[in-house]
Each structure stands twice: as C-alpha cells, then as structure tokens.
Amino acid sequence: MLSQRIIETIVGFFLLAAILAFVALAFKVSGLTSFFKQEGYDITAAFDDIGQLKVRGSVKIGGVTVGEVTAIKIDATSYKAIVTMRINAAINDIPTDSSASILTAGLLGDNYIAITPMYGKEFLKNGDEIQETHSAMILEKLIGQFLFSVSHPGEKSPNLPEEGAKI
C-alpha cells in the first residue's frame, strides 16, 4: 500500500495540472495571449467610419466566421480607419475584387466585417488590401437624419450626400 505522503504528492500534481489547464483555457477563450495564434494571412481595408468595431471582432463570409480583426489604426493622411484582419489559412480563395462591409449583429449587437466575394480569378494573399469598402451605418446618424426630415419636410438634410453622389 502507498504511503500517505505519496498519495498526497500525486493528488497535488493532478491539482496543479488542473489549475494549469484552466489557466490555459482562460487565455485561449479570452484571447489575451498569442500563444495559440491561429494560422492564416493578414489583409487590410480602409473605412471612413468603423462605428463600434473592435479588435478581435469577427470577419465573416456568408455568415461564417473566417477570421478576426487584429488591429485598427488611423491613416495620418486620409484620416480613414485602417483595419487589419487575420483570415484563416483554410480560406485562401477570396478574390481580390471582393468588398468589405461593417455590419451589426442584430439591432444593437457587436459590429463585424462581412466580406462579399466577387468573381475575380486572382486571390487575396498576405499583405493585400481590399479596395471596395462600405462603412458602418451609425444608428445615431440615421435617427438624426430621420428627425431632421420630419421636422423640416421638403428640405435636404445637411448630412445626406448630394443627389447622384457615390455613397
């Protein structure tokens, strides 16, 4: 029969292993570490307005998550938000003429990037930029435009683009 000290040592090792497993799981789920960095490639896109998009936001194609936002910075010359996305390595056939839009999950949910693939024969690779982008629709701006149109019928809202202007 094993002595009491050996049993306590074995139980201690199992307890330590369980604690380490929980810590690793917490880091993996929270994304606070790059120990478990997912394989893939980085692409960028420039947006006029990103709304509430955050780092670690989802990147989706057809509603399926294919990557995440890894960085957001401002371009000093154009004052556009430059969003860097890491796309899973398994998704390596996104055409270069695809577009990226910032959408909201539900009415008041988190923002995410939706990539709409087009029909080009060349595919995005590490370091490429998506040229066609559509900024986030800001609920506060839409409500403001609606209130202006209700209070000033027939007048053009100062926030709306000119007729025939590209949006």
- Residue 155 has what pLDDT? 67
Quick one: 53 and 135 in the same domain?
yes
Quick one: 72 and 120 in the same domain?
yes
Domain membership of residue 159 (yes or no) is no
Number of domains in the chain: 2
Domain membership of residue 158 (yes or no) is no
Domain membership of residue 2 (yes or no) is yes
Domain membership of residue 167 (yes or no) is no
Dist. CA 13–CA 56, nearest whole Å: 35
- Residue 145 has what pLDDT? 81
Quick one: 88 and 123 in the same domain?
yes
Comparing CA positions, the residue from 91, 56, 96 lying closest to residue 72 is 56
- The count of other CB atoms within 10 Å of the CB of residue 20 is 10
- Model pTM score: 0.68
Q: What residues make up the domain containing 15?
A: 1-34
Quick one: 56 and 121 in the same domain?
yes
- Residue 35 has what pLDDT? 59
Do residues 81 and 50 touch, judged by C-beta distance below 8 A?
Answer: yes
Domain membership of residue 153 (yes or no) is no
Quick one: 53 and 121 in the same domain?
yes
- The count of other CB atoms within 10 Å of the CB of residue 131 is 12
Domain membership of residue 155 (yes or no) is no
Give average pLDDT by consecutive 10-residue segment, the chain, 167 residues.
84 94 83 67 94 90 93 94 94 92 83 92 92 85 81 65 53
Quick one: 86 and 129 in the same domain?
yes
- Residue 104 has what pLDDT? 86
Quick one: 130 and 64 in the same domain?
yes
Dist. CA 54–CA 58, nearest whole Å: 9
Dist. CA 46–CA 74, nearest whole Å: 9
Domain membership of residue 17 (yes or no) is yes
Dist. CA 23–CA 11, nearest whole Å: 18
